[in-house]
Structure 1
Amino acid sequence: MSGIDGTALAVLVVLFLLVTVMGFMATRWRRPTSMESLDEWGLGGRSFGTWITWFLLGGDLYTAYTFVAVPAAMFGAGAVSGFFAVPYTIVLYPIIFVFMARLWSVSHRHGYVTTADFVRGRFGSRGLSLAVAVTGFLATMPYIALQLVGIQAVLEVIGLGGGSNIIAKDLPLFIAFALLAAYTYSSGLRAPAVIAFVKDTLIYLVIIVAIVYLPSKVGGWDAVFSAAEQKMAKPNPVDGKPTGAFIPGAQAQWAYATLGLGSALALFMYPHSITASLSASSRNTIRRNASILPAYSFVLGLLALLGWVAIAAGTKPIGLDGKPNAQLVIPQLFEDSFPSWFAGVAFAAIAIGALVPAAIMSIAAANTFTRNIYKEWLKPDATPQQEAKVSKLVSLVVKAFALVFVLALDKQNAINFQLLGGIWILQTFPAVVLGLYTRWLHRWALTAGWAVGMVYGTWQAWSVANPRAGINHFGGSLDTIPVIGQMGYIAMTAFVINLLVAVVGTVVLRVAKAPDGDDETIRGDYFADAGDPRVEKVLQPLHQEAPNP
């Protein structure tokens, strides 16, 4: 126990307990007559204004793993692996400004809770809806697990997590997620919405202090960039190639560009991003958030540069097992450079930064299962109360699975599956986003395109090896782009193939006069706003006690 930083641990525990109390008290915040519906438990009553939505989306999208992984990628491999995250978030917000307001309106009008709900209503296809739902559910699971990786990194640097006794070793993690499960179960989406205020405040504070103070300790930014450039140029002992890229060369430009664009297109296809967006009180709230969320991109850019600050500082991210672990670089940098009390604040920012997205992700995954698998396929006559109960239980199961996944398997598996999830989730883009504007694409062609994209993307990802990490399969998300012959993001290649199959298939099916499904939406639905009288007819039963079946 002598290796434990007691002061940092004490600060972490106090702040963690603070947000836990806030999580339980959130059930009283804007409490409706009943929480027994997905609208209230899973979407916060669709009542969050601009600032609450901003903090919620920021807490949802900029996760603990972002805090740990982006600078770790910069530290280990340079700009191609790490800094692409900055331009992709900049490209992302104009995209959601264009389409997310339409999705909000049609979802608000018809009471849709998930993208699969919308696809079911738009194309009249249970099969396509199921494909979108299963893809979203599977892609979210490793994302939740990765939040644990962020907490584990903090605990390791503090000095917890060593030893052979698995109960003592992982007890802090069990306690953290037991508390998370408890207040998420009782408060639903209101809990992460409240906690996000604390999480984002801490992260802004820590990053601004770090970016102002730390470079001065290592000789300024000139020394930081010089140290990073020297490290990236050194040959790696495994393959003799440069360790990384300080500035992406011509051979890496396709990889950088497709990673950025593909990630931008994919991020708001994840169920947790949609859940946070649909909780907004109006379509203009969505547009205002698309305008101000780039403030997080600025912070992300500063955070990424801390990976290079760690190089200049000579940070040695060594785990309690004695092995190098780049995921520890930022917690270790803070531990080495700051007083223990401020290091504790920084560790709390990372740990709380795991709780907010983990809560939203588990709620989103549970809503997806409940609406698009349980209600659609298992119990079509489920009442709003039954939906809420099932979703609460599934959210517990999802968190438990994520905990077991991380504790039972190597952390690299969680990272690999998260990369695979990014490839998968992009394949739902044609059905969801293009469906907001046109029904020309046939439901069967969209399903075929999705299937081909999923198979191609999974196969290509399985074929990628990473000799430096000793991984033979799922070693990365870049591979050769057919025809072009350049290295690029597998998800984008699969996406283009997906679109080609959908378009060609639609032409064939239109010529064959294959039957379309029923479209339950009308043009005006895509412009509906808060207060639309038609909304009340759809949503009102969700706020009342349902009659006995």
Structure 2
Amino acid sequence: MTIAMFVLVLLVAVGLGLYSRVGAGSSTSDFMVGGRSFGSIVIFIMVVGEVYSIGTIIGFPGGVYADGVMYSVWFMGYILLGYPIGYFLLPLLWKAGRKYDAVNLPDILRGHFNSRTLELTAAVLGVVFMVPWAQLQLTGLEVALSGLGLGLSPLVTVLIGVGISLVFVLLSGIRAPAYVSFLKDFALVFVIVLVAVFVLSKGPNVATIVAEADLGSSHSTIPAGPPMINTISTLLFQTLGFYMFPFVVQAVVSGKSPVGIRRSQIAMPLYMLMYPFLLLTSFFAISAAPGLSGADTNLAFIEVARQLLPDWLLGLVAGGAALCAIVVLAASALVIGTLVSRNIVPHVSEARQKPLTQAVIFVYLAISIVLTLAAPSIMGTLINTSYYGITQFIVPVALMIFPARVRPSVIALGLAVGSVASIGFYVSGATFSGVNIGVPALAANLLVILIGRFVAPAPKALRSIALRGGTSSPDTRTTSKKVRSS
């Protein structure tokens, strides 16, 4: 019965993916950004659908199980703090995207700063830091389905995830992940609340369940010193990078109006209502599934579901977990394909970008199978660097809003220095007294900007995208093509 329900959920998802082709055009714009026609509801679902991934039901409960309340403060804190930033920032990115006929952040940076160098640097770094993020989805899918006891081998699990993701993005580009996100988000919230309801049935009230978890001080408080410094610095750092992920920007420029973008941000905090239920299940897992350690803590939510739910509902949990991974993997693959075909490979005409994107997606997803099966530990290590690198993009975005006399080549150098520094700090094991290593990497990025500003300033600063009328840079695709070929 578990397998039957799991298959049913996936079949419904595939059906929605097929339905997304209805009314879809065949143009490159429609494939990459849905013809820029998505309203506030679709944008809301897309952004949420691509932010709340498999880590929501794997990583969050596992982190609370292992580290207690400190983990939940970080996890929920940076998301909540990110929403107000998105309310003001995303409509501006939409405005810049429409002005420069952009489908992603490197397009926007090229148009605003009139720089092929900056575009190429941003695109290459975007791919570098998106690959491990996408791999996280397959790794999480394998952990979830294995823990649920479906009896699927790692190869079969990965093939399911990659196969459905490939069908989605090749069918209708960004529309398929957008449509399937409706089902995925419903399944995600429903499963989390459902398991929490079963947990509540095992105790008279929440206080009793928490008390039975026998939480020590390490779980119920945030220790002073480096742990607290790390939690707060990570929370603030990732708040800055929350909306810098390429799939978020690509979803935003798919919207048809800035009003719809802003409305979607107003509703975003509603998703946080599921976290008290998830937190309750995480605490219950401490007493219900004692002894989990290391990577096995990621099975905290799964173990509770297996203990409490009947088989057919367990199949629904499996289907919801699979969709969490598949939707984000599909969106990430589309972003990687777009970055390569549109921003990295030179002199690609508009007509050739769509087939080249599809080819890159196919090649990447094929490679991802090998990466997941042959080097899971390496990919697990690289995943930790995604936020370190992606958050570096806040610097050029900030310079679009608060312009300074900084040359585009200096901005590109800052991005590169910050990204390389973050990887170097991580590999070397640097601790910085508990400060998140992304913070000194971002400081290195800013230092390059400051040196460039005073040593070799640009002749003048461009206008802010926040001002009426946009920037003084050319705003046509023809001009962008000239920059691309220079």
Q: Which TM-score applies when normalising by structure 2?
A: 0.90
Cα offsets for 1:497-536 (capped at 9, x unmatched): 32132123211112xxx66799998954549xxxxxx99x
Find the counterpart in structure 2 of residue 95 from structure 1.
85
Q: Please point out which of 311, 318, 339 is paired with 1:368.
A: 339
Q: Please point out which of 158, 170, 174 is paired with 1:173.
A: 158
Find the counterpart in structure 1 of residue 260 from structure 2.
285
Find the counterpart in structure 2 of residue 239 from structure 1.
none
Find the counterpart in structure 2 of residue 307 from structure 1.
282
Letter in 1 for 2:6: L
Counterparts of 2:120 and 2:259, CA distance in 1: 30
Q: CA deviation at 1:303?
A: 2.2
Counterparts of 2:158 and 2:292, CA distance in 1: 21
Counterparts of 1:224 and 1:491, CA distance in 2: 37
C-alpha distance 362-246 of structure 1, shift in aligned 2 (>3 A): same
Q: Please point out which of 24, 27, 39 is paired with 1:31.
A: 24
Counterparts of 2:76 and 2:187, CA distance in 1: 20
Bigger drift between 62-71 and 323-332 goes to 323-332
Find the counterpart in structure 1 of residue 4 from structure 2.
10
Cα offsets for 1:413-465 (capped at 9, x unmatched): 3232111111111112111232233143332332332233223211211122x
Q: Please point out which of 479, 487, 502 is paired with 2:431.
A: 479
Counterparts of 1:224 and 1:499, CA distance in 2: 47
Answer yes or no: is the 8 Å Cα contact 2:206–2:280 preserved in 1.
no
Counterparts of 1:135 and 1:249, CA distance in 2: 35
Find the counterpart in structure 1 of residue 179 from structure 2.
194
Q: CA deviation at 1:314?
A: 2.6
Letter in 2 for 1:448: L
C-alpha distance 372-520 of structure 1, shift in aligned 2 (>3 A): farther
Cα offsets for 1:21-78 (capped at 9, x unmatched): 22122111x323xx231x2001111111111111111111000122211111111222
Answer yes or no: is the 8 Å Cα contact 2:237–2:438 preserved in 1.
yes
Find the counterpart in structure 2 of residue 246 from structure 1.
220
Find the counterpart in structure 1 of residue 301 from structure 2.
330
C-alpha distance 263-302 of structure 1, shift in aligned 2 (>3 A): farther
Counterparts of 2:97 and 2:68, CA distance in 1: 41
Counterparts of 1:393 and 1:278, CA distance in 2: 23
Q: CA deviation at 1:275?
A: 1.2
Tell me if 1:505 matches 2:452.
yes
C-alpha distance 521-264 of structure 1, shift in aligned 2 (>3 A): closer
Tell me if 1:42 matches 2:32.
yes
Tell me if 1:19 matches 2:13.
yes
Counterparts of 2:39 and 2:125, CA distance in 1: 30
Letter in 2 for 1:365: I
Tell me if 1:398 matches 2:364.
yes
Answer yes or no: is the 8 Å Cα contact 1:75–1:308 preserved in 2.
yes
Answer yes or no: is the 8 Å Cα contact 2:21–2:172 preserved in 1.
yes
Counterparts of 1:95 and 1:454, CA distance in 2: 22
Q: CA deviation at 1:218?
A: 4.6
Answer yes or no: is the 8 Å Cα contact 2:142–2:157 preserved in 1.
no
Tell me if 1:203 matches 2:193.
no
Aligned length in residues: 476
Find the counterpart in structure 2 of residue 152 from structure 1.
142
Counterparts of 2:295 and 2:94, CA distance in 1: 45
Letter in 1 for 2:221: I
Letter in 2 for 1:361: S
Answer yes or no: is the 8 Å Cα contact 2:168–2:330 preserved in 1.
no
Letter in 2 for 1:31: A
Q: Secondary structure at the match of 1:293?
A: helix
Q: Secondary structure at the match of 2:255?
A: coil
Q: Please point out which of 346, 352, 365 is paired with 2:323.
A: 352
Tell me if 1:456 matches 2:403.
no
Q: How does 1:382-461 map to 2 (within 5 A)?
A: 382-410=348-376, 412-461=377-426
Answer yes or no: is the 8 Å Cα contact 1:228–1:246 preserved in 2.
no
Structure 2: segments with no counterpart, 5+ residues: 479-486
C-alpha distance 82-216 of structure 1, shift in aligned 2 (>3 A): same
Q: Which TM-score applies when normalising by structure 1?
A: 0.81
Cα offsets for 1:392-416 (capped at 9, x unmatched): 1112222222222111113x43232
Answer yes or no: is the 8 Å Cα contact 1:72–1:326 preserved in 2.
yes
Tell me if 1:113 matches 2:78.
no
Answer yes or no: is the 8 Å Cα contact 1:120–1:128 preserved in 2.
yes
Counterparts of 1:128 and 1:331, CA distance in 2: 44
Find the counterpart in structure 2 of residue 483 from structure 1.
none
Q: CA deviation at 1:250?
A: 2.0
Answer yes or no: is the 8 Å Cα contact 1:365–1:395 preserved in 2.
yes
Identity of aligned residues (%): 24
Q: CA deviation at 1:161?
A: 5.4
